[in-house]
């Protein structure tokens, strides 16, 4: 087989699908079972579709053979080809129950997500012009995803039963609000999306809540979701399961799961302390902290770096070590 296709466990194949994003290729996983199941797929592009088709062909299948598609979370590099695959295969689509409505109304959800990002950027010190440009850039990327109608709803705590595999569904919010883990307790294998990656630390991104009323509240009120505390709780739950292997959405399989999770937890604790020390020096807006930590990257990737700072501010706030104070329409952080 080519380097982009690899058998990672009995009946499980990883297919690397190219993306236009900095993160690089995304992993789709074919579960050779009844029904023939594909977990995640890739962004909506001809290049990605051709690569996925080629990978399936190497394993001995075609798109038309697919019987079940599963999407682990809402990011476009994981679900963008869903509509095309459904139309060519007649497969069922299974997603977390809370993700079904946002995915079915994808353009509106994506636009709302961008509106939330712009509001947060302006509120936390990103120059208005930068926030406006980045919203336009984000809007231009909506086409990498697309609406799709789920026919099966995955409920956390329930099981996805295939002929030879049984996966427990675990909702593990953090990297996104819809992160969904497929846990094979018998084989101790986890299909993890972007929950835990070997080569990079997954970034918990502030996103529009999946529930419509919660989403309206996030857009209308001076509040925000808190993905990093949720992510750390999800990591601790995964650690307690002690998987032998986590098949992630990017990069190689994770085999040293407890040790890697421990390192991720230490990493976030260290980063929170670093941010706290900067706030102790003087009150700052979160974007000021990001500029001090990442320089120009905090402008070109203003929202991602802002999410990184605010996530650790949330950890510090839980410890009552930081306060957010609004001053002249900008929130500043006080120790």
Helix-strand-coil split of the chain, %, nearest 5: 45, 20, 35
Query: CB atoms < 10 A from the CB of 235, how many?
Result: 21
pLDDT tens across 290-323, in order?
A: 999 999 999 999 999 999 999 999 999 999 999 9
Average pLDDT score over residue span 250-272? 98
> Is the predicted pLDDT of residue 3 greater than 90, yes or no?
no
Structural Rg of the chain based on CA atoms: 20
What is the CATH superfamily name and number for domain 5-267? Answer: Ribonuclease Z/Hydroxyacylglutathione hydrolase-like (3.60.15.10)
φ, ψ of residue 298 in degrees (nearest 5): -70, -10
Element housing 239 (H / E): helix 227-241
How many angstroms separate the CA atoms of 13 and 28, rounded?
A: 8
How many angstroms separate the CA atoms of 141 and 22, rounded?
A: 13
How many angstroms separate the CA atoms of 55 and 94, rounded?
A: 22
pLDDT tens across 209-240, in order?
A: 999 999 999 998 788 999 999 999 999 999 99
Q: Which residue has the tokens 């950890």?
A: 315
| pLDDT for the residue 302 | 97
> Is the predicted pLDDT of residue 85 greater than 80, yes or no?
yes
| pLDDT for the residue 286 | 98
Residue 325: strand, helix, or coil: strand
Contact partners, residue 295, CB within 8 Å, separation at least 6: none
Sequence-ordered alpha helix ranges (H) in 90-211: 100-104, 106-123, 128-140
pLDDT tens across 267-278, in order?
A: 999 999 999 999
pLDDT tens across 13-55, in order?
A: 999 999 999 999 999 999 999 999 999 999 999 999 999 999 9
| pLDDT for the residue 220 | 86
């Amino acid at each position: 087989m080519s380097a982009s296709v690899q058998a990672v466990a009995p009946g499980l194949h990883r297919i690397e699908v190219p993306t236009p994003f900095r993160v690089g290729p995304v992993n789709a996983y074919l579960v050779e079972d009844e029904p023939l199941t594909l977990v995640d797929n890739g962004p909506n592009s001809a290049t990605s579709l051709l690569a996925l088709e080629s990978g399936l062909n190497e394993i001995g299948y075609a798109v038309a053979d697919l019987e079940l598609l599963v999407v682990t979370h809402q990011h476009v590099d994981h679900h963008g080809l869903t509509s095309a695959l459904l139309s060519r295969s007649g497969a069922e689509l299974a997603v977390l129950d809370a993700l079904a409505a946002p995915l079915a109304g994808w353009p509106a959800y994506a636009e709302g997500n961008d509106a939330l990002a712009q509001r947060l950027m302006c509120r936390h010190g990103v120059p208005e012009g930068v926030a406006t440009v980045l919203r336009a850039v984000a809007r231009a990327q909506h086409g990498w995803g697309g609406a799709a109608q789920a026919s099966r709803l995955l409920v956390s705590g329930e099981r996805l039963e295939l002929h030879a595999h049984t996966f427990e569904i675990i909702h593990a919010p953090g990297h996104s609000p819809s992160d969904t883990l497929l846990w094979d307790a018998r084989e101790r294998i986890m299909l993890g999306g972007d929950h835990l990656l070997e080569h990079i630390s997954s970034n918990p991104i502030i996103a529009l809540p999946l529930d419509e009323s919660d989403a309206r509240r996030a857009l209308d009120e001076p509040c925000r979701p808190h993905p990093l505390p949720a992510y750390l709780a999800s990591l601790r739950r995964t650690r307690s399961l002690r998987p032998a292997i986590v098949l992630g959405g990017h990069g190689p399989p994770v085999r040293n799961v407890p040790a890697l999770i421990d390192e991720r937890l230490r990493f976030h604790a260290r980063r929170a302390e670093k941010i706290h020390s900067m706030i102790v020096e003087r009150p700052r807006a979160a974007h000021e902290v990001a500029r001090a930590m990442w320089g120009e990257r905090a402008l070109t990737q203003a929202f991602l770096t802002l999410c990184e700072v605010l996530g650790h501010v949330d950890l510090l706030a839980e410890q009552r070590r930081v306060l957010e104070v609004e001053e002249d329409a900008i929130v500043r952080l006080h120790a």
